Amino acid sequence: MLWDALTFQLGYNATLVAIGATLLGISAGVTGTFLFLRKRALVSDAISHATLPGVCLAFMALVALGGDGRNLIGLLAGSAVSAWIGLLCMNWLTRHTRLAEDAAIGAVLSVFFGLGIVLLTVIQTMGVGRQAGLEGFLLGSTAGMLWADALIIAIGGAATLMLVMIIRRPMMMVAFDPEFAAARGLPVHRIDLAMMGLVMAVTVVGLKIVGLILIVALLIIPPVTARFWSERSDRVVLLAGLAGGLAGYLGAAMSASAPNLPTGPIIVLVSFGFFALSLLLAPVRGVLAAILRHLRFQRRVHIRQGLLALAQGQKIYEPLTLRLLRRAGIVRADGVATEAGKARAAKALRDEKRWELVRSDQAHEATAALYDGLRDIETVLTRDQIAEIDRRIGGPQGVLT
């Protein structure tokens, strides 16, 4: 069943949904990356909730004009207008009042949504009888999607993607360092608005498939996922598009393969699956890698401190230090240093002296900046340089083992 869905053999509607969801996932992932790198991920939450009153008003207007209230283009246009108004409200609140952005986001999100709910109940009492479709915009509803709807989503998604590609450079500069961008003469405020406009476009396009509450997930989760795998912004953008597209495709296929699997939530959960895997397993930024690194680092710190304490005849207070020293064969079970331990302790102290000299000597300034208390001096200086330093320190030689 799932295989059939994945290979587009589950019928016309499922195929439409899968193609639409894939395109949506790609454009949401790519667009969301800029938002995420700008550290304004949750602005998308305000934008998406702010679409609701627009949808309702557009429906009412369409009906009042005698048209079909469910005309997708009309509804999406309405949602775009109200999302844009919500965005302007949010910007105004953060720029002209003492409210921080988080409070402004929350206020716009909840008030616009509340107003939308009021309008929704007004529509329910209008007795038009065809309002059922509007609730679908909350959580998305792909049942009975029409060819025209899919076409709108596909065109909208592709257009957004193209726009993103056109203005990606200025957006990236603003996301990376707004002050530098402003100094370079870029209109930061306008670029921010353009970024938000693109987010809004993705939101509007995605309303039909995943709904306004969950579209946020498509804008946030793939970029966060992609960030684990690369330090280069252009790659993050690509990976986010890939993760988003894949989640959209797999999610839509899975939801088509069994009953009672709503498309929007499944796409979000698949996306989260990718995120969770990345969080745990990514090679550098992943949790497992970080834990291993931290343990190794902590071990190095404790052993180094222990060695220095031994060499200077100081008492070692930390139980963890003693345990690590014992395990490394530096001290015996009773806390007395072994022969090897003594040699290493003497070497550590000697290194410390060498570093001291390096750090107070202007000639070694670049090297001195590398000092972190742990680095072996052999890794930054040549044997000759070390010999030269040892000559200046004086005292016993031959601990360079």
How far is Cα 319 from Cα 266, in angstroms, rounded to an integer? 49
**6-25 mask for another protein (x: CB under 8 A)?**
--------------------
Q: Give yes or no for a contact between 318 and 302, defined as CB atoms under 8 angstroms apart.
A: yes
Positions in 196-215 near another protein (CB under 8 A): 213-214
Cβ closest to another protein, residue 168 vs residue 275: 275
User: Residue 401 has what DSSP assignment?
Assistant: -
Q: Give the Cα-Cα-Cα angle 327, 332, 335 (nearest 5 degrees).
A: 105
Does residue 128 belong to the site contacting another protein (CB under 8 A)?
no
| Other Cβ atoms within 10 Å of 166 Cβ, number | 10
Coarse DSSP helix, strand, coil percentages of the chain, rounded to the nearest 5 percent? 75, 0, 25
**Residue 214 in 3-state DSSP?**
helix
Q: Give the torsion through C-alpha atoms of 300, 304, 307, 312, to 10 deg.
A: -160
Name which position in 186, 359, 399, 400 contacts another protein (CB under 8 A). 359
Cβ closest to another protein, residue 111 vs residue 158: 111
Positions in 234-253 near another protein (CB under 8 A): none
**374-393 mask for another protein (x: CB under 8 A)?**
x-------------------
Least separation in angstroms between residue 26's CB and another protein is 18
Does residue 339 belong to the site contacting another protein (CB under 8 A)?
no
Positions in 262-291 near another protein (CB under 8 A): 262, 264-266, 268-269, 272, 275, 279, 285, 287, 290
Does residue 115 belong to the site contacting another protein (CB under 8 A)?
yes
Name which position in 6, 193, 368, 400 contacts another protein (CB under 8 A). 368
Least separation in angstroms between residue 186's CB and another protein is 22
How far is Cα 309 from Cα 324, in angstroms, rounded to an integer? 14
Q: CB under 8 A: which stretch of 15-23, 188-196, 199-207, 300-308 binds another protein?
A: 300-308
H/E stretch holding 396 reads none
Q: Give yes or no for a contact between 244 and 222, defined as CB atoms under 8 angstroms apart.
A: yes
Q: CB under 8 A: which stretch of 6-14, 183-191, 329-337, 391-399 binds another protein?
A: 329-337
Cβ closest to another protein, residue 61 vs residue 374: 374
Least separation in angstroms between residue 54's CB and another protein is 15
Name which position in 15, 27, 131, 321 contacts another protein (CB under 8 A). 321
Least separation in angstroms between residue 152's CB and another protein is 24
Cβ closest to another protein, residue 98 vs residue 391: 98
Least separation in angstroms between residue 119's CB and another protein is 8
Positions in 49-88 near another protein (CB under 8 A): 49
How far is Cα 261 from Cα 399, in angstroms, rounded to an integer? 69
How far is Cα 278 from Cα 285, in angstroms, rounded to an integer? 9
Does residue 125 belong to the site contacting another protein (CB under 8 A)?
yes
Cβ-proximal residues to 323 (8 Å cutoff; 6+ apart), any chain? none
Name which position in 196, 364, 380, 381 contacts another protein (CB under 8 A). 364
Does residue 93 belong to the site contacting another protein (CB under 8 A)?
yes
Does residue 121 belong to the site contacting another protein (CB under 8 A)?
yes
Name which position in 2, 314, 329, 393 contacts another protein (CB under 8 A). 314
Could you tell me how many residues of this chain bind another protein (CB under 8 A)? 101
